[in-house]
Structure 1
Amino acid sequence: MTKLSVNINKIATLRNARGGNVPDLLKVATDIQRFGAQGITIHPRPDERHIRYQDARDLKTIVHTEYNIEGNPQHNFIDLVLECRPDQVTLVPDAIGALTSSAGWDTIQHQAYLTEMIQEFKRNQIRTSIFVDPQLAIIEGAQKTGADRIELYTEAFAYQYSLGNPKAITPYVQAAILANELGLGINAGHDLSLDNIAFFKQNIPGLLEVSIGHALIAEALYLGLDNVVNMYLQKLK
């Protein structure tokens, strides 16, 4: 079964909109795990507009499944990850002020930089994953950095699939086959939803984990958080 890690950034966004502590991020994380999710993902950004750095510290004692921290490996982020010691760190090339993730790493151009960062995290027994587009040369570059896993950036698939184009899965299948051959674990995320997750899961060989936030929280507004988490778990079997 592919693991479901729920990204709780949108819960933090809602909390921050009014100040105070409603909704309670730590309680939501606790409940999501109780509902059956196998992981919690956060993506703190430098401006702390949703997840705050203190949230990352507070979640250390709350997350008893898999704790995944995503972000651009700049100094403050590196320090935070080494302090929190999550199960996994996912490196994402976000520009400062970016609304959301919009591209994967160029693992060829940035190979030396990524290798240095990955060695630091692995010295501290933290599993590493690199956010990448489904391009074969990029997958090969990721393997050369020493990363444990890749996270396939799935926005292009999700958009094309919503237009009725199932062939959009093809480059992701090819990337997954190569990653498996190279010994890289496969994660995926961005715009995956109840509408497309089963198709994606069925076609990607060796898919270990999906990270889903925006769609899952939006769906939960209508269907309820407990129900939606379990709907994803059923589709990921």
Structure 2
Amino acid sequence: MTKLSVNVNKIATLRNARGGNVPNLLRVAADIEIFGAQGITIHPRPDERHIRYQDARDLKKIVTTELNIEGNPNPKFVDLVLEVKPDQVTLVPDAEDAITSNAGWDTLKHRVFLKEVIAKFKDAGIRTSIFVDADPNMVAGAKETGTDRIELYTESYATGYSLNKEKAILPFIEAAKKANELDLGINAGHDLSLDNIQYFAQNIPDLLEVSIGHALICESIYLGLENVVNMYLNKLK
């Protein structure tokens, strides 16, 4: 079964809007685990507009499943990850002013940089993953960095799903096949939702984990958080 890691950035955004501690990020993360999710994902950005660096430290103390920290490996981020020592770090090449992640790494162009950063994390015993587009060449480049896993950037799949789901999934199948050939673990995330997650999971061989935040939280406004978490789990079986 593919594991579900819930990205709680949007919970932090809501909390920060009023400056207090409602909703309580730690309580929500603990509840999400109780509801059955197998991981918690956070993506702290330099401006801390949603997840704060202190949130990462606090979540490390209470998450009992898997803590995944995503982000661009600038010096401050690297220091945070090495301090917190999450179960997994996912490297994402987003600009500081990016609203959300919008591209995977060029693993050929940035191979040396990624290899150096990944070595630091692996020396600390942290599993590593690289955010990549559904391109076998980028997957092959990821292998050269020493990463444990890739995370397939799924926005193009989500955008194309309603138009032609068979066509939309094809690049991801090819990228996954390449990852399997190279013995790279496969994660996926970005714009996955209750509408499109089942078809994706059924067609990607050896999909280990999906990270879902924005859609899951939006769906929970209407359907309830516990219910939505379990709906995702059922679709991932």
Task: Give the TM bin, normalised by the shorter chain.
Answer: over 0.9
Q: How far 1:163 moved relative to its partner? A: 2.7
Instruction: Tell me, in whole angstroms, the C-alpha distance in 1 between the residues paired with 2:115 and 2:82.
Output: 16
Q: Which runs of 4 or more aligned residues in structure 1 lie more than 4 Å from their structure 2 counterparts after TM superposition?
A: none
Written as runs of structure 1 = structure 2, the 5 A alignment for 1:21-60 is: 21-60=21-60
Q: How far 1:167 moved relative to its partner? A: 1.3
Instruction: Tell me, in whole angstroms, the C-alpha distance in 1 between the residues paired with 2:129 and 2:186.
Output: 9
In structure 2, what residue type is equivalent to 1:109?
A: K
SS in structure 2 of the partner of residue 70 of structure 1: strand
In structure 2, what residue type is equivalent to 1:121?
A: F
Written as runs of structure 1 = structure 2, the 5 A alignment for 1:56-135 is: 56-135=56-135
Contact map agreement 1:42 1:51 (CA 8 A) in 2: yes
Q: How far 1:43 moved relative to its partner? A: 0.1
Q: In structure 2, what is the equivalent of residue 146 of structure 1?
A: 146
The total of aligned residue pairs comes to 237
Q: In structure 1, what is the equivalent of residue 191 of structure 2?
A: 191
Q: In structure 2, what is the equivalent of residue 172 of structure 1?
A: 172
Q: Encode CA deviations 1:181-200: one digit per residue, 9 max, x unaligned.
A: 10000000000000000000
Instruction: Tell me, in whole angstroms, the C-alpha distance in 2 between the residues paired with 1:10 and 1:151.
Output: 20
SS in structure 2 of the partner of residue 227 of structure 1: helix
Q: How far 1:88 moved relative to its partner? A: 0.1
Q: What is the TM-score normalised by the length of structure 2?
A: 0.99
In structure 1, what residue type is equivalent to 2:222?
A: Y
In structure 2, runs of 5+ residues without a counterpart are none
Instruction: Tell me, in whole angstroms, the C-alpha distance in 1 between the residues paired with 2:165 and 2:54.
Output: 42
Q: How far 1:165 moved relative to its partner? A: 3.7
In structure 2, what residue type is equivalent to 1:85?
A: K
In structure 1, what residue type is equivalent to 2:108?
A: I
Q: What is the TM-score normalised by the length of structure 1?
A: 0.99
Question: Which stretch has the larger CA shift, 156-165 or 195-204?
Answer: 156-165
Contact map agreement 1:160 1:166 (CA 8 A) in 2: no
Contact map agreement 1:134 1:153 (CA 8 A) in 2: yes
SS in structure 1 of the partner of residue 61 of structure 2: coil
Q: How far 1:61 moved relative to its partner? A: 1.0
In structure 1, what residue type is equivalent to 2:209?
A: E
Instruction: Tell me, in whole angstroms, the C-alpha distance in 1 between the residues paired with 2:186 and 2:165.
Output: 23
In structure 1, runs of 5+ residues without a counterpart are none
Q: Encode CA deviations 1:144-200: one digit per residue, 9 max, x unaligned.
A: 000000000000000000234431100000000110010000000000000000000
Q: How far 1:62 moved relative to its partner? A: 1.1
Instruction: Tell me, in whole angstroms, the C-alpha distance in 1 between the residues paired with 2:176 and 2:60.
Output: 31
Instruction: Tell me, in whole angstroms, the C-alpha distance in 2 between the residues paired with 1:160 and 1:122.
Output: 36
Contact map agreement 1:39 1:68 (CA 8 A) in 2: yes
Percent identity between the aligned chains? 73
Q: CA RMSD for the aligned pairs?
A: 0.6
Q: In structure 2, what is the equivalent of residue 212 of structure 1?
A: 212
